[in-house]
Structure 1
């Protein structure tokens, strides 16, 4: 029989080999120390690495990293390139080399890298998600307000998918409840550097505007005019097909629209980030009609992936249904958690 000490030796050896294989990535940071673990991602100027000596992942500012060493596959993008699928390493301090699966080699300054995502990990590791909730109770007329927001994203080599949901319910005595909800599903394809094509499905219902449902299908393309580890700014546009159903109206309204949009995302203000976008829809089939959707979100990150978010959503229609309001907006403050 195998002695107990010999058995323990083999168990120790097995775990040592397994651990060495799983923790194949290393980082060299500015204080000339190394971090050993498994790189998950880098975006918005922060790299996330899972280490064997901590229950929670380490987050390292990208500006503090001098070199990376890994044998695994990543999706990587830089200021001067589209997404590249391959292995990454540092041939010297301050630079990152990418060897694509087609064996092409690219070398970039570390400061020019904007995005890294591990693709050796499973399907769930390519997902990102967040959920927010808010509740307000007022004694006057027993007013209750509940709000919920959520987001789900998935990233692939040349594709990304995002879904968002937003709901607000206000109830008070002797007054009809106010219900408002919106959401979208967006698929983006990145064929070349800074350019992208997209398809977006979005909906809105709002008792304040007598809108039972607006369902809009958008097709278009856009360009990132500025990308860095602190912010990005993009402009995009195309054509849309709009279907609307209003309260008390038996016939649906259908129209074709052009659309143009702009989005600004600032994410290097300490624990604070800002996202703002505006969509303008001039109608092609309804004379002089213009709609505008605007969103502004401020987010404050807290420990353990919790955050506080406050923001405004505004909808404008210069030809509203009957006597409903042309402008409607909501301001929400919620507590959320991201994954």
Structure 2
């Protein structure tokens, strides 16, 4: 009787475990892993299991079947964005049960992004922060900086913000400071088109900028959107307000803008990102500005990373006494949510 009771208890425990672990993956080599599938982004899938202290990260291209009862926010190579469940209909094929558009069968490699879509705020939030500091005894040189990002993704839109600060001082030289921040909003449209609205500011002692506020709006499209990379183009109009630390008067002007963005992320733990934006003057004829950003990030265990970034700002009609070009090379160590 005791043996029968023990057997029933073990069966109940096993059944409860299996019911809790509702998601499963089948690999090309026929191995199977069971757990809770959280997300897939940039070719990497995250799954949580009861027998691991941290989430497993798996290359999406190694998976041939996926089964889940959870609800996901899903993006396809075609630019479609769906909200629904994902389950394999056959090896290499996935059936998406969308609340809005019904059933849709796609190839596994057509899915470029998905994440659990829940009503709570934290499941849609991402954040990162890294800091750096250096000190050189010669001339008492000190430099410090901080880089931070914050993002939020909903079914039809996304919002991102960032803030960067660099301070430098040494004996016999005026202190330098460079501070910039941005907020961007994207409304996703069919066929991988989107409407971008951005605000950014820059304060820079090298270019005698007390503050430059820049508002932009336009239309964009992802030309390439896969599990290995994405490349997007956008363009529109820009309104700029500039206040200088010199005696130069405050300027208000209109510009056109054209930007491109490239992200390469199927390089092991390395992620490369670049963005170029040019601003031909409209109200100030002959003026031309450009911003260039390049970042390289290498992922470490426990969500830590090391990062190097290069930023270049150019203005062919900089205020008198200021440099037309300013650039920053920054390295750091950080952690991301």
TM-score (norm 2): 0.94
Contact 1:67/1:94 (8 A) holds in 2 = yes
Q: Take 1:9 and 1:291, find their aligned partners in 2: how far apart are those partners?
A: 75
Residue 63 to residue 248, structure 1, CA distance change in 2 (3 Å): same
Q: Deviation of residue 105 (structure 1)?
A: 1.2
The correspondence for 1:283, drawn from 281, 286, 289, is 281
Q: Take 1:255 and 1:14, find their aligned partners in 2: how far apart are those partners?
A: 71
Gaps of 5+ in 2: 1-5
Aligned equivalent of 1:172: 170
**Runs (4+) of structure 1 moved beyond 6 Å?**
8-18
Residue 210 to residue 60, structure 1, CA distance change in 2 (3 Å): same
Matched, 1:125 2:119: no
Aligned equivalent of 1:146: 144
Aligned equivalent of 1:89: 87
Aligned equivalent of 2:63: 65
Residue 103 to residue 290, structure 1, CA distance change in 2 (3 Å): closer
Q: Take 2:16 and 2:209, find their aligned partners in 1: how far apart are those partners?
A: 58
Contact 2:248/2:319 (8 A) holds in 1 = no
Matched, 1:265 2:256: no
Partner-residue secondary structure (3-state), 1:193: helix
Matched, 1:225 2:223: yes
Greater shift, 82-91 or 20-29, is seen at 20-29
Q: Take 1:188 and 1:18, find their aligned partners in 2: how far apart are those partners?
A: 42
Q: Deviation of residue 204 (structure 1)?
A: 0.4
RMSD: 2.2
Residue 90 to residue 177, structure 1, CA distance change in 2 (3 Å): same
Partner-residue secondary structure (3-state), 1:325: coil
Q: Take 2:168 and 2:225, find their aligned partners in 1: how far apart are those partners?
A: 39
Contact 1:72/1:120 (8 A) holds in 2 = no
Residue 36 to residue 241, structure 1, CA distance change in 2 (3 Å): same
Q: Deviation of residue 180 (structure 1)?
A: 0.2
Partner-residue secondary structure (3-state), 2:243: strand
Contact 1:76/1:83 (8 A) holds in 2 = yes
Q: Deviation of residue 24 (structure 1)?
A: 1.9
Deviations 1:63-98 (A, max 9, x none): 111111111111111112411111111011111111
Q: Deviation of residue 111 (structure 1)?
A: 1.3
Aligned equivalent of 2:322: 324
Aligned equivalent of 2:3: none
The correspondence for 1:195, drawn from 186, 193, 196, is 193
The correspondence for 2:209, drawn from 211, 215, 234, is 211
Contact 1:136/1:146 (8 A) holds in 2 = yes
Gaps of 5+ in 1: 1-7
Matched, 1:98 2:96: yes
Greater shift, 274-283 or 101-110, is seen at 101-110
Partner-residue secondary structure (3-state), 1:313: strand
Contact 1:74/1:86 (8 A) holds in 2 = yes
Q: How many residues align?
A: 334
Residue 139 to residue 24, structure 1, CA distance change in 2 (3 Å): same
Q: Take 2:152 and 2:13, find their aligned partners in 1: how far apart are those partners?
A: 32
Residue 93 to residue 325, structure 1, CA distance change in 2 (3 Å): same
Residue 135 to residue 13, structure 1, CA distance change in 2 (3 Å): farther
